[in-house]
Amino acid sequence: MLPLTIQKRLANPGKIENEFLNFLRQANAPIDQSKTIAYQCLYDSKLVTGENQVDFFTGNFVQNRTNIDGAYVRPSSEHFLIYGIRASYVTLFPAEEVTNWNLGFARGFTSADAFASQPQQPFTQSQISVQVNSVRLNKYIPLTEFDNNETAGSRGTIYLDQPILWQGQTEMKITLETNSPDIVFPGTTGEAESAVKFDLFGLALI
Protein backbone atom coordinates (compact mmCIF):
# COMPACT_ATOMS: atom_id res chain seq x y z
CA MET A 1 0.00 0.00 0.00
CA LEU A 2 1.55 3.29 -1.08
CA PRO A 3 1.54 6.23 1.36
CA LEU A 4 -1.28 8.66 0.63
CA THR A 5 1.17 11.38 -0.41
CA ILE A 6 2.61 9.16 -3.15
CA GLN A 7 -0.85 8.11 -4.35
CA LYS A 8 -1.81 11.77 -4.66
CA ARG A 9 1.46 12.52 -6.46
CA LEU A 10 0.74 9.86 -9.08
CA ALA A 11 -2.83 11.02 -9.53
CA ASN A 12 -2.01 14.74 -9.71
CA PRO A 13 1.59 15.43 -10.87
CA GLY A 14 2.83 18.68 -9.40
CA LYS A 15 0.01 19.05 -6.88
CA ILE A 16 1.97 17.76 -3.88
CA GLU A 17 4.90 20.06 -4.72
CA ASN A 18 2.61 23.11 -4.92
CA GLU A 19 0.87 22.19 -1.67
CA PHE A 20 4.26 21.77 0.00
CA LEU A 21 5.40 25.25 -1.10
CA ASN A 22 2.10 26.76 0.03
CA PHE A 23 2.52 25.03 3.39
CA LEU A 24 6.00 26.53 3.77
CA ARG A 25 4.72 30.01 2.88
CA GLN A 26 1.95 29.78 5.47
CA ALA A 27 4.54 28.68 8.05
CA ASN A 28 6.65 31.76 7.14
CA ALA A 29 9.56 29.50 6.21
CA PRO A 30 12.06 31.20 3.87
CA ILE A 31 12.01 29.66 0.39
CA ASP A 32 15.18 29.58 -1.71
CA GLN A 33 14.05 29.29 -5.36
CA SER A 34 17.33 27.55 -6.26
CA LYS A 35 16.45 24.58 -4.03
CA THR A 36 14.82 21.37 -5.25
CA ILE A 37 11.75 19.58 -3.88
CA ALA A 38 12.43 15.90 -3.22
CA TYR A 39 11.22 12.96 -1.18
CA GLN A 40 13.81 12.28 1.49
CA CYS A 41 14.67 9.88 4.31
CA LEU A 42 16.82 11.11 7.21
CA TYR A 43 17.97 8.79 9.98
CA ASP A 44 19.76 8.89 13.30
CA SER A 45 20.86 5.98 15.49
CA LYS A 46 22.36 5.76 18.98
CA LEU A 47 23.39 3.30 21.66
CA VAL A 48 20.74 3.08 24.39
CA THR A 49 22.20 0.45 26.75
CA GLY A 50 21.53 1.23 30.42
CA GLU A 51 19.63 4.44 29.65
CA ASN A 52 16.02 5.27 30.43
CA GLN A 53 15.93 8.31 28.11
CA VAL A 54 17.82 9.03 24.85
CA ASP A 55 17.38 11.98 22.44
CA PHE A 56 17.78 11.47 18.68
CA PHE A 57 18.57 14.10 15.99
CA THR A 58 20.20 16.26 18.66
CA GLY A 59 23.14 16.15 21.09
CA ASN A 60 26.41 14.35 20.37
CA PHE A 61 26.84 14.13 16.58
CA VAL A 62 28.50 10.97 15.19
CA GLN A 63 28.64 11.03 11.38
CA ASN A 64 28.65 7.27 10.78
CA ARG A 65 25.42 6.92 12.82
CA THR A 66 23.34 9.37 10.76
CA ASN A 67 22.95 10.42 7.12
CA ILE A 68 22.62 14.11 8.00
CA ASP A 69 25.76 15.97 6.91
CA GLY A 70 27.91 17.74 9.48
CA ALA A 71 25.34 18.76 12.10
CA TYR A 72 21.78 18.05 13.15
CA VAL A 73 20.65 21.66 12.61
CA ARG A 74 20.03 22.02 8.89
CA PRO A 75 20.68 25.13 6.72
CA SER A 76 18.07 27.89 7.00
CA SER A 77 16.82 27.28 3.44
CA GLU A 78 16.32 23.51 3.87
CA HIS A 79 12.96 22.40 5.25
CA PHE A 80 11.62 18.89 5.82
CA LEU A 81 7.94 17.93 6.14
CA ILE A 82 7.83 14.59 7.97
CA TYR A 83 4.91 12.25 7.30
CA GLY A 84 6.31 8.92 8.58
CA ILE A 85 8.67 7.52 11.23
CA ARG A 86 10.30 4.09 11.12
CA ALA A 87 11.94 2.57 14.20
CA SER A 88 14.38 -0.33 14.39
CA TYR A 89 16.63 -2.08 16.87
CA VAL A 90 19.83 -4.15 16.92
CA THR A 91 22.23 -5.73 19.40
CA LEU A 92 25.83 -4.76 18.59
CA PHE A 93 29.17 -6.09 19.76
CA PRO A 94 32.17 -3.69 20.12
CA ALA A 95 33.88 -4.73 16.87
CA GLU A 96 30.66 -4.09 14.94
CA GLU A 97 30.13 -0.54 16.20
CA VAL A 98 32.50 0.80 13.53
CA THR A 99 32.39 -1.75 10.73
CA ASN A 100 28.75 -2.85 10.82
CA TRP A 101 26.92 -0.01 12.55
CA ASN A 102 24.18 0.30 9.92
CA LEU A 103 23.75 -3.44 9.37
CA GLY A 104 21.33 -5.76 11.10
CA PHE A 105 18.73 -3.30 12.38
CA ALA A 106 15.34 -5.06 12.58
CA ARG A 107 12.17 -3.00 12.23
CA GLY A 108 10.00 -2.64 15.30
CA PHE A 109 10.68 -3.57 18.90
CA THR A 110 8.51 -6.46 20.07
CA SER A 111 8.75 -8.85 17.12
CA ALA A 112 10.76 -12.05 17.09
CA ASP A 113 12.79 -10.59 14.22
CA ALA A 114 13.96 -7.75 16.44
CA PHE A 115 14.74 -9.80 19.53
CA ALA A 116 15.13 -13.49 18.75
CA SER A 117 15.97 -14.86 22.22
CA GLN A 118 16.35 -11.38 23.73
CA PRO A 119 13.66 -10.17 26.17
CA GLN A 120 11.12 -7.83 24.62
CA GLN A 121 11.16 -5.63 27.72
CA PRO A 122 11.50 -2.75 28.30
CA PHE A 123 10.48 -1.65 24.80
CA THR A 124 6.87 -2.64 25.48
CA GLN A 125 7.01 -0.16 28.39
CA SER A 126 8.50 2.75 26.45
CA GLN A 127 7.40 5.60 24.20
CA ILE A 128 8.64 8.44 22.03
CA SER A 129 7.83 12.14 21.87
CA VAL A 130 8.64 14.50 18.99
CA GLN A 131 9.63 18.08 19.69
CA VAL A 132 10.45 20.99 17.39
CA ASN A 133 11.97 24.16 18.90
CA SER A 134 10.83 23.21 22.42
CA VAL A 135 7.24 22.59 21.23
CA ARG A 136 6.17 18.98 21.82
CA LEU A 137 4.10 17.99 18.77
CA ASN A 138 3.65 14.27 19.47
CA LYS A 139 3.65 13.09 23.06
CA TYR A 140 4.19 9.59 24.40
CA ILE A 141 3.61 7.43 21.32
CA PRO A 142 3.97 3.82 22.61
CA LEU A 143 6.73 1.84 20.90
CA THR A 144 4.20 -0.94 20.34
CA GLU A 145 2.68 1.33 17.65
CA PHE A 146 5.72 0.51 15.50
CA ASP A 147 4.75 -3.18 15.51
CA ASN A 148 1.14 -2.83 14.40
CA ASN A 149 1.84 -3.16 10.67
CA GLU A 150 3.10 -6.55 9.55
CA THR A 151 3.35 -5.89 5.80
CA ALA A 152 6.95 -6.18 4.67
CA GLY A 153 7.22 -2.66 3.22
CA SER A 154 5.66 -0.88 6.19
CA ARG A 155 6.82 -2.97 9.14
CA GLY A 156 8.16 -0.79 11.94
CA THR A 157 6.65 2.37 10.42
CA ILE A 158 3.94 4.75 11.57
CA TYR A 159 2.39 7.38 9.33
CA LEU A 160 1.47 10.63 11.05
CA ASP A 161 -2.08 11.99 11.00
CA GLN A 162 -0.57 15.48 11.07
CA PRO A 163 2.83 15.98 9.33
CA ILE A 164 5.64 17.66 11.25
CA LEU A 165 7.56 20.57 9.73
CA TRP A 166 11.27 20.53 10.57
CA GLN A 167 12.22 23.99 9.42
CA GLY A 168 15.80 24.93 8.57
CA GLN A 169 17.92 26.29 11.43
CA THR A 170 15.61 24.80 14.06
CA GLU A 171 16.08 21.87 16.42
CA MET A 172 13.98 18.74 16.03
CA LYS A 173 14.36 15.81 18.38
CA ILE A 174 12.80 12.46 19.11
CA THR A 175 12.94 11.50 22.77
CA LEU A 176 12.89 7.78 23.49
CA GLU A 177 12.09 6.98 27.13
CA THR A 178 10.85 4.22 29.39
CA ASN A 179 7.81 4.51 31.63
CA SER A 180 9.93 4.70 34.78
CA PRO A 181 13.49 5.72 35.76
CA ASP A 182 13.83 2.21 37.19
CA ILE A 183 13.38 0.67 33.73
CA VAL A 184 16.45 0.88 31.48
CA PHE A 185 17.20 -0.35 27.98
CA PRO A 186 18.95 -3.75 27.75
CA GLY A 187 22.54 -4.62 27.00
CA THR A 188 25.96 -4.71 28.63
CA THR A 189 28.30 -1.77 28.06
CA GLY A 190 31.39 -2.85 26.12
CA GLU A 191 29.88 -6.25 25.33
CA ALA A 192 26.47 -6.73 23.73
CA GLU A 193 24.94 -3.26 23.45
CA SER A 194 21.52 -2.12 22.27
CA ALA A 195 21.19 0.44 19.47
CA VAL A 196 18.01 2.11 18.19
CA LYS A 197 17.51 3.83 14.85
CA PHE A 198 14.80 6.22 13.67
CA ASP A 199 14.16 6.95 9.98
CA LEU A 200 12.13 10.04 9.04
CA PHE A 201 10.23 10.01 5.74
CA GLY A 202 9.05 13.25 4.17
CA LEU A 203 9.09 15.90 1.51
CA ALA A 204 12.08 18.23 1.58
CA LEU A 205 13.33 21.48 0.10
CA ILE A 206 17.02 20.76 -0.39
State how far the Cα of 165 lies from the Cα of 172, in Å rounded to an integer. Answer: 9
Higher confidence at residue 106 or residue 165? 165
Under 8 Å CB-to-CB from 52, ≥6 apart: which residues?
A: 177, 178, 180, 181, 182, 183, 184, 185
Higher confidence at residue 92 or residue 100? 92
Q: Decide if pLDDT at 198 tops 90.
A: yes
**pLDDT tens digits for 141-154?**
998 888 876 666 78
Q: Decide if pLDDT at 5 tops 60.
A: yes
Q: Decide if pLDDT at 132 tops 90.
A: yes
Q: pLDDT at position 74, please? A: 92
